[in-house]
Amino acid sequence: MVELKSAAEIARMRVTGEFVANVLAELRDRARIGVNLLELEAHVRERIRERGAVSCYWDYSPSFGRGPFRNTVCLSVNDAVLHGLPFDYALRDGDVLTADLAVGIDGWVADSATTVIVGTPAPADSRLVRATEEALEAAISVALPGNRIGDISAAIAGVAHAYGYPVNTEFGGHGLGRTMHEDPHIPNHGRPGRGYTLRPGLTIAIEPWFARTTDRIITDPDGWTIRSADGSRTAHSEHTVAITEAGPQVLTRAA
């Protein structure tokens, strides 16, 4: 069931979204050579605690994971792309790190992800990150009342294909608000003009993610981390967006 939100409810989601954006910006700044993923997890845990926020990941036990998840941020390095389980690993020069953060504040959730390259970027990795960011912006630009989910999906896939990257359709975007995952599902590949019609008050997470040379994924032995099946590097960009009469509003930008 799709739940449409009032302007007041969207405003409360924006409060959460600004917190998520600020913490992700802090992680981007802290993602330096030699920094351990567990230090980044500890930072997020402390920020959530001091803000009185609630992690959407803590105790998360979906059908696909080896639950419950006992961390507050997903950190995915290089070929890891989704649900990366933080572990004892010091970042190296050129690593591609995705941080994905979803929290609730006063009952309202926001979800965002960003990919940062540690130290000196390889040009091929910069290009991949740029593609997910451009796909996200293209998708947001068509998140308008009267358009359809398929328009968002097609915008994402269009950018991926222009760059020459394949698209996986198993994991994509989703509705959210009172919880992290609500209807509708938003595939990262689809046909324009098809699917659920976007309405004012719909709040969704749009999240293109690409691997350089495959659309297939494998699950790590840790039971959580999802990697590209061929080991190629990956990137992921996500924002929480509200559909409004005045156009799309990105709720997860830093204040």
Residues binding Mg ion (CB under 5 A): 100, 111, 113, 205, 238
How many whole angstroms separate alpha carbon 61 and alpha carbon 52?
A: 22
Strands (E), 25-144: 54-55, 74-77, 80-82, 96-105, 108-117
Nearest to Mg ion of 3, 213 (CB atom) = 3
State which residue, 62 or 223, has the beta carbon closest to Mg ion. Answer: 62
Compute the least distance from the CB of residue 111 to Mg ion, in Å: 4
For the CB of residue 180, give the shortest distance to Mg ion in the complex, in Å. Answer: 7
Q: What is the C-alpha to C-alpha distance for residues 244 and 105, in angstroms, rounded to an integer?
A: 22
Q: Which is nearer to Mg ion, 124 or 180 (CB)?
A: 180
Min separation Cβ 254 and Mg ion, Å? 17
CB of 217 to Mg ion, least distance (A): 16
Minimum CB distance to Mg ion smaller for 136 or for 245 = 136
Closest CA to 205 of 79, 59, 56: 56
